[in-house]
Chain A
Amino acid sequence: MTLKQHSILPGFGLTMGFTLFYLSLIVLIPLAGLLLKSATISWDQFYAAVTDPQVVASYKITFGASLVAASVNAVFGLAVAWVLVRYSFPGKNIVDAMVDLPFAMPTAVSGIALTAIYAPNGWIGRWLDPLGIEVAYTQLGIMVALTFIGLPFVVRTLQPALEDMDVEIEEAAASLGATRLQTFVRVIFPAIMPALLTGFALAFARALGEYGSVVFISGNLPMKTQIVPLLIMTKLEQYNYAEAAAIAVVALGASFAVLLFINIVQWWSRRYAA
């Protein structure tokens, strides 16, 4: 805070003070409490708690499913953003507004609705079931839920980036003999890469912590479909607070790392662009 440059605008001390105060009160102190709690067990116990095979399996499931969901969103989100920015078709405004649905819809409602659709007797599930594809209560189900909640992050970060693209560059590429595909791969894609990366990471970070929609659609089997938040909940319900806190600390560290990565990417791309 000492490197603040001189500014004639007032209120830095006050707003900064309030920000830090409130941030500490609502976020930092409670999270510090979590760290303290996990420190009530010895390092060995902590290590044993967070490397237990069940716990490791749930990390893998959570990270794996989040990664797949974020990747699916990166691909389809790019298509959606591209279509929304570049093309016009009837009902485009409605579709554009719909993209934010997962933001606005309560996670529990999404969870119940997705389960109802993808269960073997649901609207989509009944068509997949004869094909031997099970969605609800499998890892696939977790991915579906995480894809749902992560979609707007990718689309909404890509849209402004695509809108800001200069057409002249594309024209230049075309006039130099590049095909449309070459133009996309060599010119457009690198330009929107930071936004795509940010959207991907945001969707990923959001998926890591998701609970409400996943518990309904996941089978919650240890080693197979148990996600980290559910494992924490299970530990909690067995009065095993210290271990729950230990696992939570690891999950928290992961979230923080992903978010820091996003903010650095953004900072870097701003600097790079300028």
Chain B
Amino acid sequence: MILRPFVAFGLFSIALVSIAVFAGGCRRSSDPNAVKILNVSYDPTRELYEEFNRVFAEHWARQSGQTLDVRMSHGGSGKQARSVIDGLEADVVTLALAYDVDAIRRKAGLMPKDWQSRLPNNSAPYTSTIVFLVRKGNPRGIKDWNDLVKPDVSVITPNPKTSGGARWNYLAAWGYMLKRELGDLSKLHDPKSADAVAKANEKAKEFVKEIFQHVKVLDTGARGSTMTFVQRGIGDVLLAWENEAFLSIHELGPDKFEIVVPSISILAEPSVAVVDKVAERHGTRAVAEAYLKHLYSSEGQTLAAKHYYRPRNAEGVPEEYMKRFPKVKLFTVREVFGGWEKAQAEHFNDGGVFDQIYKP
């Protein structure tokens, strides 16, 4: 009968799929002296971690005798957090903002509530800020945030819903307007000027809305936006991470772009954390913790500075790196927006201010 071969074939194919599904899912490490960790990071850190991983692997080999293999995954910060929540086996996460790391704790419970106090400086070993990247000679004369809404200026930024960097962009613009309206950001916490604050917030909303009306392309991640601006030649100004802006100039030549530093910007604190539950299951907690701690060492800080992240501790970092960072007035999310939890709920969640901007 026709049955037999078909049954055999059918069973064979089902077996093949199951083997693939189950074997592929199991983690095996044959060499007891080899250890592997997965660092799930956001878009612009590729170059930094490529070098840091090499340096740390040497350091770890000296310290413990183990050969370390750090694997990387990059993407938009929100998307990466989502992947970890859904089961991506990250031993450590190094994301664009504390909110995304916290989402992993809230949604999947993979780390304790106090994760942010386990490492110095709010668990952010390096900082950055938001600057403007413009075409050589700054043909549109963009100097500060209010120049973004001049007629005919087209702005490139990623989508704040999916990109961490874009959320910093958005909040930086908002903060600029508050500062301009209030003169002094400390008024935000003064109950007597509540009316003025409410008015300033209205103004800021209008301002941010206007900026987004000048946005031509809304990529899902910071790197996508950079590519749109530098490779495709779209837009007059890119709102970018400082490190991303420096990197584009470094990669594509200083004859094409220049950086404009606005009068005031936001202190961006990209957060790092060990994903406890995963690291414990893999037995990699020690190496994962050492990995993140090493970011705070002078070697780690130097590498961060080399890749255009502002180090927390300039001691031991060569002057040639430090002098690249322009002085700029920075405010924090906590002082202006009352922390990420609040900023996220108010501005970026579904139905929040950002969605209202795009309401017809």
Interface residues, chain A, with chain B CB atoms under 8 Å away: 10-11, 14-15, 18, 53-54, 57, 115, 119-122, 136-137, 215, 219-223, 226, 230, 233-240, 243
In contact, A238 and B218 (Cβ under 8 angstroms): no
B231: chain A residues within 8 A (beta carbon): 119
Q: How far is the CA of A175 from the CA of B335 in the complex (A)?
A: 88
Q: A54-B355, A237-B79, A238-B82 are in contact. List 7 more A-B contacts (CB 8 A).
A: A10-B1, A10-B2, A18-B6, A220-B159, A220-B217, A235-B350, A238-B161
Name 20 A/B residue pairs within 8 A (Cβ), A-sorted.
Answer: A14-B6, A15-B6, A18-B6, A53-B360, A54-B355, A119-B232, A120-B234, A121-B233, A122-B232, A136-B234, A215-B220, A220-B217, A220-B218, A221-B217, A237-B76, A237-B220, A238-B78, A238-B350, A239-B85, A239-B107
In contact, A223 and B360 (Cβ under 8 angstroms): yes
Checking B10, B232, B360 against A115 with a beta-carbon cut-off of 8 angstroms, the contacting residue is B232
In contact, A18 and B233 (Cβ under 8 angstroms): no
A137: chain B residues within 8 A (beta carbon): 216-217, 228, 232, 234
Give the interface size class of chain B: 20 to 34
A233: chain B residues within 8 A (beta carbon): 162, 220
In contact, A54 and B358 (Cβ under 8 angstroms): yes
Judge whether B250 is part of the interface by a CB distance below 8 angstroms: no
Q: How far is the CA of A197 from the CA of B82 in the complex (A)?
A: 41
In contact, B350 and A240 (Cβ under 8 angstroms): yes
In contact, B82 and A234 (Cβ under 8 angstroms): no
Q: Which residue of B lies closest to A121 (CB)?
A: B233
Q: How far is the CA of A237 from the CA of B216 in the complex (A)?
A: 22
Q: How far is the CA of A219 from the CA of B85 in the complex (A)?
A: 28
A10: chain B residues within 8 A (beta carbon): 1-3
Judge whether B193 is part of the interface by a CB distance below 8 angstroms: no
Ordered nearest first, which 10 A-B pairs have the shortest CB separation?
A119-B232, A11-B2, A219-B217, A222-B358, A121-B233, A237-B79, A237-B162, A220-B218, A137-B217, A237-B78
Q: How far is the CA of A113 from the CA of B216 in the complex (A)?
A: 20
Judge whether B215 is part of the interface by a CB distance below 8 angstroms: yes
Q: Which residue of A lies closest to B10 (CB)?
A: A18
In contact, B215 and A221 (Cβ under 8 angstroms): yes
In contact, B220 and A14 (Cβ under 8 angstroms): no
Judge whether B7 is part of the interface by a CB distance below 8 angstroms: yes
In the assembled complex, the CB of A156 is this many whole angstroms from the nearest CB of chain B, namely 28
Q: Which residue of B lies closest to A115 (CB)?
A: B232
In contact, A120 and B7 (Cβ under 8 angstroms): no
In contact, B107 and A234 (Cβ under 8 angstroms): no
In the assembled complex, the CB of B290 is this many whole angstroms from the nearest CB of chain A, namely 31
Total number of A-B contacts with CB less than 8 angstroms? 83
In the assembled complex, the CB of A81 is this many whole angstroms from the nearest CB of chain B, namely 34
Judge whether B359 is part of the interface by a CB distance below 8 angstroms: yes
In contact, B6 and A11 (Cβ under 8 angstroms): yes
Judge whether B349 is part of the interface by a CB distance below 8 angstroms: yes
B82: chain A residues within 8 A (beta carbon): 236-239
In contact, B232 and A136 (Cβ under 8 angstroms): yes
B218-240 interface code vs A (CB 8 A; 1 in, 0 out)? 11100000001001111000000
B110: chain A residues within 8 A (beta carbon): none
In contact, A234 and B220 (Cβ under 8 angstroms): yes
Q: Which residue of B lies closest to A137 (CB)?
A: B217
In the assembled complex, the CB of A187 is this many whole angstroms from the nearest CB of chain B, namely 46
Q: How far is the CA of A215 from the CA of B158 in the complex (A)?
A: 13
In the assembled complex, the CB of B54 is this many whole angstroms from the nearest CB of chain A, namely 29
In the assembled complex, the CB of B247 is this many whole angstroms from the nearest CB of chain A, namely 20
In contact, B234 and A119 (Cβ under 8 angstroms): yes
Judge whether B103 is part of the interface by a CB distance below 8 angstroms: yes
Q: Which residue of B lies closest to A12 (CB)?
A: B2
Q: How far is the CA of A122 from the CA of B82 in the complex (A)?
A: 35
Segment 314-359 of B: residues with Cβ below 8 Å from A = 349-350, 355, 358-359
B255-273 interface code vs A (CB 8 A; 1 in, 0 out)? 0000000000000000000
A18: chain B residues within 8 A (beta carbon): 6, 10
A222: chain B residues within 8 A (beta carbon): 218, 358
Q: How far is the CA of A136 from the CA of B228 in the complex (A)?
A: 10
Q: How far is the CA of A215 from the CA of B219 in the complex (A)?
A: 9
In contact, B216 and A219 (Cβ under 8 angstroms): yes
Q: How far is the CA of A82 from the CA of B276 in the complex (A)?
A: 64
In the assembled complex, the CB of B352 is this many whole angstroms from the nearest CB of chain A, namely 11
In contact, B103 and A237 (Cβ under 8 angstroms): no
Q: How far is the CA of A243 from the CA of B216 in the complex (A)?
A: 26
In the assembled complex, the CB of B137 is this many whole angstroms from the nearest CB of chain A, namely 17
Q: How far is the CA of A222 from the CA of B159 in the complex (A)?
A: 9
B83-106 interface code vs A (CB 8 A; 1 in, 0 out)? 001000000000000000001000
A53: chain B residues within 8 A (beta carbon): 359-360
Q: How far is the CA of A212 from the CA of B233 in the complex (A)?
A: 21
B76: chain A residues within 8 A (beta carbon): 237
Q: How far is the CA of A129 from the CA of B79 in the complex (A)?
A: 34
Q: How far is the CA of A163 from the CA of B216 in the complex (A)?
A: 47
Q: Which residue of A lies closest to B85 (CB)?
A: A239
Q: How far is the CA of A11 from the CA of B216 in the complex (A)?
A: 58
